């Protein structure tokens, strides 16, 4: 029987619909070549629906999403909606409810791609960011609200269960790569959470004698990321540090418009979600200048996760070919300026 892929599509806000359109174009082409039938289910979620109906994510939406094998998401967030309403109520709710405990964010500098790095070297690492805990749990609140004595708290929740499954995933990944794992945290100050992470890394490390592991405080990690990024292979870190570090990783590898991510539930009991690292970029929405490559690279992660590695490899190769074209044009002194749609079309052609 022919394989089918039931995909939930959440284009979202700002540039989300623009980049998802291109991601879907590439996905459709890659699946067609493999004889896989794509059943797409578009969900009207995000700012427009919220402003129209007051709804963010209903039980019915969740049921329709849970029915799918995977989710392709653009971005969530709109200046017309108070900050956090959609980010927490929609994006984080999806990640938490679907138990996306691994937020996988590869960072690779393609040859010749412009980078702000003085000495680029070999930049090819993966950030394994914990996805369901930490400071993003929503534990906290305010007291004496609106007074000069207001107190606001935001509590970072770290469980041994949550940290261990993330660390274990990162060690597995490291043992399939160069065998080097770095824990990034701030255990010199965040002694409780950092202490737990460091202890669990030491414990799990005993099972992986083939993986060398070290430690880096988050503040120093932001330095090394621009001065010596080749020191990293697999970084494992918490939700907030991983969020910040991966925007920086995007910036050093050619721009945030190239950075892909997968929100994975490795147990496969719920659909995993693939999305660019960037947000809804309201500053460029509607201008057709957004780079869809991050979304297309997220499609490659989706294909790989869904056991279509050959198709994933082909999409990656098409992106590499497009990167080479960019590099050639830049080296010749006439950098390519293409619309979102043209970049998508060019990558489809390269497939
Ligand atoms: N996963 C998600 O849905 C995320 C949502 N957000 C939300 O997005 C909104 C905007 O947040 P910002 O902090 O401005 O972050 P952002 O990532 O949307 O934009 C940061 C900068 O990167 C540029 N940029 C982003 N994507 C690009 C692309 N594909 N091609 C070229 N340039 C690109 C933007 O123009 C902007 O200058 C907020 O509402 C925020 O909460 C932010 C990050 C992730
Ligand atoms: C908007 C946040 C909830 C998410 C974010 O910035 C990210 O996951 O990179
Ligand atoms: Mg982010």
Give DSSP secondary structure letters for 146-169: TSTT-EEEEEEE--HHHHHHHHHH
Domain ranges of the chain: 1-101+261-351, 116-252
Ligand 1 atom 34 nearest Cα? 281
Give the distance (Å) from ligand 3 centre to CA of residue 71: 18
User: Is 73 strand, coil or helix?
Assistant: strand
- Phi and psi for 107 in degrees, rounded to 5? -135, 115
281 lines ligand 1 (CB under 6 A): yes
User: Same topology for domains 1-101+261-351 and 116-252, yes or no?
Assistant: yes
- Taking the CA of residue 243 as reference, the ligand 2 atom at the shortest distance is 9
Q: Which of 50, 186, 316, 322 is catalytic?
A: 186
Asked whether 188 and 197 are in contact (CB, 8 A), the reply is: no
Shortest-distance ligand to the CA of residue 104: 2
pLDDT digit string, tens, across residues 61-70: 999 999 999 9
pLDDT band at 114 (very low <50, low <70, confident <90, very high): confident
- Taking the CA of residue 92 as reference, the ligand 2 atom at the shortest distance is 3
Q: Which of 44, 214, 219, 228 is catalytic?
A: 219
Instruction: For 116-252, give the CATH class.
Output: alpha beta
Q: What is the pTM of this model?
A: 0.98
Respond yes or no: is residue 93 known to be catalytic. no
Asked whether 218 and 184 are in contact (CB, 8 A), the reply is: yes
The ligand 2 site (C-beta within 6 Å) comprises 87, 91-92, 243, 277
In the chain, DSSP finds a helix count (H) and a strand count (E) of 12, 12
In degrees, rounded to 5, the angle at the alpha carbon of residue 161 between the alpha carbons of residues 181 and 185 is: 40
CA distance 150 to 143: 6
Indicate whether 222 pLDDT > 70: yes
Q: Does domain 1-101+261-351 have CATH number 3.30.1390.10?
A: no
91 lines ligand 1 (CB under 6 A): yes
pLDDT band at 1 (very low <50, low <70, confident <90, very high): low
Dihedral angle of Cα 319, 278, 25, 286, to the nearest 10 degrees: -120
Respond yes or no: is residue 307 known to be catalytic. no
pLDDT digit string, tens, across residues 62-97: 999 999 999 999 999 999 999 999 999 999 999 999
Of the candidates 322, 272, 278, which has an alpha carbon nearest to the alpha carbon of residue 301? 272
pLDDT for residue 120? 83
- Mutual orientation of helices 293-305 and 16-34 as an angle, nearest 10°? 40
- Taking the CA of residue 284 as reference, the ligand 1 atom at the shortest distance is 35
pLDDT for residue 118? 86
Give the distance (Å) from ligand 1 centre to CA of residue 279: 3
CA distance 19 to 13: 11
CA distance 198 to 132: 18
- Phi and psi for 115 in degrees, rounded to 5? -140, 150
Average pLDDT, the chain: 97
Q: In whole angstroms, what separates CA 160 from the centre of its chain?
A: 23
Of the candidates 27, 19, 73, which has an alpha carbon nearest to the alpha carbon of residue 46? 73
State the CB neighbour count (10 A cutoff) for residue 62.
14
Respond yes or no: is residue 238 known to be catalytic. no
pLDDT digit string, tens, across residues 160-200: 999 999 999 999 999 999 999 999 999 999 999 999 999 99
Per the structure block, which two tokens stand in for 259? 């950075």
pLDDT digit string, tens, across residues 193-217: 999 999 999 999 999 999 999 999 9
CA atoms within 13 A on the CB side of 289: 7
Mean pLDDT of 27-45: 95
């Amino acid at each position: 029987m022919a394989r089918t892929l039931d995909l939930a599509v959440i284009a979202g806000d700002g540039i989300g619909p623009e980049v998802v359109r291109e991601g879907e174009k590439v996905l459709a082409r890659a699946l067609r070549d493999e004889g896989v039938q794509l059943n797409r289910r578009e969900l009207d979620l995000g700012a427009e629906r919220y402003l129209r109906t007051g709804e963010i994510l209903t039980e019915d939406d969740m049921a329709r999403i849970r029915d799918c094998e995977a989710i392709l998401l653009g971005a969530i967030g709109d200046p017309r909606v108070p900050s956090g309403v959609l980010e927490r109520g929609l994006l984080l709710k999806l990640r938490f409810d679907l138990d996306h405990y691994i937020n996988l964010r590869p960072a690779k500098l393609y040859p010749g791609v412009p980078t702000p790095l003085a000495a680029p070297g070999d930049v090819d690492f993966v950030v394994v960011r914990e996805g369901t805990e930490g400071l993003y749990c929503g534990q906290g609140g305010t007291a004496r609200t609106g007074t000069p004595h207001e107190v606001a708290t935001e509590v970072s929740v770290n469980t041994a269960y949550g940290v261990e499954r993330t660390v274990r995933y990162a060690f597995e990944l490291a043992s399939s790569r160069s065998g080097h794992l770095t824990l990034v945290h701030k255990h010199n100050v965040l002694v409780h959470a950092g202490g737990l992470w460091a202890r669990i890394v030491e414990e799990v490390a005993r099972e992986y004698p083939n993986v060398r592991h070290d430690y880096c405080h988050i503040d120093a990690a932001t330095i090394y990321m621009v001065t010596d990024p080749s020191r990293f292979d697999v970084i494992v870190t918490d939700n907030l540090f991983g969020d910040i570090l991966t925007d920086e990783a995007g910036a050093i590898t050619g721009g945030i418009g190239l950075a892909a991510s997968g929100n994975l539930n490795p147990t496969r009991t719920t659909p995993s979600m693939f999305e660019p690292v960037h947000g809804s970029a309201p500053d460029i929405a509607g201008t057709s200048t957004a780079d869809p490559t991050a979304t297309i690279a997220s499609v490659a992660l989706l294909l790989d996760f869904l056991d279509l590695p050959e198709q994933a490899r082909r999409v990656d190769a098409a992106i590499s070919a497009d990167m080479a074209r960019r590099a050639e044009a830049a080296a010749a002194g006439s950098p390519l300026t293409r619309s979102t749609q043209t970049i998508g079309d060019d990558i489809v052609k390269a497939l």
